[in-house]
Structure 1
Amino acid sequence: LPTFNRSFAFHYQFLKKNIPLKKEELDRKIKTIPAGVDTKIFKPAKSKPEELKILMIARMVPYKRYYDFIEALSELKKRKISFTASIRGDGPIEKKIRKLVKEKELEGKVKFLPKVPHNKMPNLMREHNVLVLPSYNEAIGMVVPEAMACGLATIVSDTCGATTYIDDGKNGMIFETFNTQQLADKIEKLSDKKLREKIGLQAVQTIRKKFDIRITTKQLEKQIIECL
């Protein structure tokens, strides 16, 4: 690998960290090109829900850390924070997640949504104002930039590749993976309607200016030409 003399185009800064090269070689040989979002499809709602409505969209597998999400919601309930949460996903641990929701007495707060086709996903996102992705070591999590394009305030773990899109505290929030108290703290901050709307607006502007699919496609085309 150290002997290559052409650029590699990687989608995520997250992956760049795992290439066994010195920083000078990384900066010279590897170009980071984030995955883009079609902002003509993923766009904000004309009006946002008044109440705190949290969404998690992910396969129900261990590394997605649904357990951490439910624990954080349980903590919010203890703090008497008003919220509702929606879960869209299926997979091998679904029964365990449903059981945990029941054990934490969150049935009145959390609902499990049926499968949604991808072309209906923007509508689902626009029905909420916060998206959480607590995954452990996820390459990206495209639901994050898509939700940002829809004007949602997003919260992601620090081992998720989607941190590429987030300037912590400005257009989204980042928390320490596995730290459910910190995740609850971040969500609680977004119970402030003005703050979450401000972050949501910044998120839309970020995606449109830097990560629209038409912009990232041109970047990739340029990199391919340079490699020829």
Structure 2
Amino acid sequence: MKYQKTVGFILKRVDCNDGVASHCETLIRGLKAHGWRIVMITGPVFYDSTSITRFATLKSLVEDWVTFEKINPLVPDFSCLLKIYQTIRKYEISLLHAHGYSMLLIARILQIFTQIRCVATFHPSIHGNDPKLLKEKALQVNHLQYQFYLGLFTPDKFIAYSSEIANFLTQDLNFPESKVSRMLLGIDTDLFRPPTAEERCLARKKLNFQEDELICALVGRLSWNKGHDILIDAVRQLRTEHSITNIRCLFSGSGHEEKQIKDYAFQSEEDQFYFHFMGFTEDLRDIYWAADIFVLPSRKEGFALVVAEAMACGVVPIRTPAGGAEDQIEDGVNGFIFPFDDSETLVSQLKLLSNNPQLRKHLAAQAYKTAQQKFTLEKMINDTIAVYEQASLKGI
């Protein structure tokens, strides 16, 4: 196949309200600026009235968007494979980027007929209706299953968006380091930046927060995996056991567990004041600019792009040691890391920050410095293109 700067993004599904869709939008913009064309090949697309703008934006950025009502990645049907094959030929796609390792079987079948190359990224997450079971589920990693599947359908290159994922591939699964390209996700640091005093005041006024209140933000899909219950428990404990009543929580996101999480938060009339749910938010700057602390108690992550965005806005990050934590936070230097499902440690960290404005200011400045040094959009795009070109040229 003639080498073209055209890549097909292949995903099992697209949720326009989550971080994968946000990353795809950022990546596509950067690739287009360097002369690449992108074709989306996906299973069902989900959006609502709050996230339809992202869907429209993604659609406007790509050459075409081929969708299927359902893609079975383990037993793909002939009509699905034929349609993808025809799309590859039509747009002279030279490379598939599988967002999620489950799509690698489809990529391997297509490679037999087209000689197309493939790179793959992981976006690990877990799902479930019972938060108490998710901790155990997160720890149950079937290494043999991963080794068998990924060994059988190995892409030309793995892109690891965090040190944790890179270590999982090379150390736990024993893939050669030459197969794995570690690169950190990038953000638009011109967009995500610390607010001026006026911008911070306006953001707080817009969200009905007072200047003397301590605002904790959590941006993420309303899923028990994100650990909303851990932050809710911690704030409730700060109020009742430590008499810290100026703390309020701001949640941004939507998802299938929305009703359950809200029911967990709103157990009294008083809770209506302390916990504020905004739904999915297209422009997150007001949230970051109004916040003092960004908390992400996730049980499983790939990188957690929202943490990098918050850091770039000068917000103190606190998170669990899920994917990306090692790259984002040096504990006690530019933020804090606390153990999974450990609301007690989170309480201690929030109490410390509540009582020490100077420490908050220092950690926020260090978080901003880290974001400027490590999470640049330009580096991510350049690194991605280098991997694409390396993989694509193998097929010439």
Tell whether 2:226 aligns with 1:64: yes
SS of 2:271 mapped into structure 1: coil
Deviation at 1:100, TM superposition (A): 2.3
Partner of 1:34: 184
Partner of 1:220: 384
Deviations 1:181-221 (A, max 9, x none): 01111222221211111111111111111211012222333
| Residue 164 of structure 2, aligned match among 1, 14, 34 | 14
Partner of 1:196: 360
Change (3 A) 1:54 1:222: same
Deviation at 1:12, TM superposition (A): 1.3
Deviations 1:29-80 (A, max 9, x none): 4331010011010000113555311111111112111111111111111211
Any gaps of 5 or more consecutive residues in structure 2?
1-149, 201-210
Deviation at 1:26, TM superposition (A): 5.0
TM-score by length of 2: 0.52
Tell whether 2:289 aligns with 1:109: no
**Counterpart AA for 2:319:** V
TM-score by length of 1: 0.86
Q: Flag the structure with more relative contact order, 1 or 2, with Cα contacts below 8 A and sequence separation at least 6.
A: 1
Deviations 1:158-200 (A, max 9, x none): 1243442111111121110100101111222221211111111
In 2: Cα distance, 1:46 partner to 1:96 partner: 37
Tell whether 2:311 aligns with 1:161: no
Tell whether 2:237 aligns with 1:87: no
Deviation at 1:23, TM superposition (A): 9.7
Aligned pair count reads 226
In the TM superposition, what are the counterparts of 1:151-190 in structure 2 within 5 Å?
Answer: 151-190=314-353
Counterpart contact for 2:162–2:323, Cα < 8 Å:
no
In 1: Cα distance, 2:248 partner to 2:163 partner: 33
Partner of 1:137: 300
Counterpart contact for 1:163–1:174, Cα < 8 Å:
no
**Counterpart AA for 1:173:** F
Change (3 A) 1:115 1:31: closer
In the TM superposition, what are the counterparts of 1:116-127 in structure 2 within 5 Å?
Answer: 116-117=281-282, 120-127=283-290
Larger radius of gyration: 2
In 1: Cα distance, 2:157 partner to 2:276 partner: 46
In 1: Cα distance, 2:387 partner to 2:238 partner: 46
